Amino acid sequence: MAGSDIIPRHALALYTGLKRGEYPEAGAGASEAIKFMRRESDTGIRASAAGWNLVVHRGVPLGFIKNLGRRLNNYFPVEWRIRMDAGGAAGGIL
């Protein structure tokens, strides 16, 4: 909890019992999903709803972002981020 805002845990995004539609979904293509999981500042993901959004790639939830209007905050866990460069192989991975 930060101030009066409740921060959803990453495990909630991965929870198979999460009702789809509980959070607005922000779709991500392969390159956007990789950027999201690298925690890059400009992922290219477009969230339509203000507040918490669930990042989804091919129907699979990846984690949460918070849409603050002018920018998005990435809440993918720092310790899980992708640190190596796949050399453009993202299309074959995802």
Q: What CATH number is associated with residue 63?
A: 2.30.130
Domain holding 49, by residue range, is 24-79
Q: What is the mean pLDDT of residues 34-51?
A: 92
The mean of the pLDDT values for the chain is: 89
Cα–Cα distances in Å, from 38 out to 4, 10, 19, 50, 62?
A: 28, 15, 26, 23, 12
Distance between first and last Cα of the chain: 32
Is 8 a residue whose pLDDT tops 80? yes
Find, among 53, 49, 57, the residue nearest to 32 by Cα.
57
User: Both tokens of residue 83?
Assistant: 């640190």
pLDDT at position 89, please? 54
Is 46 inside any structural domain?
yes
Q: Residues with Cβ < 8 Å from 12, sequence gap 6 or more?
A: 18, 64
Is 64 inside any structural domain?
yes
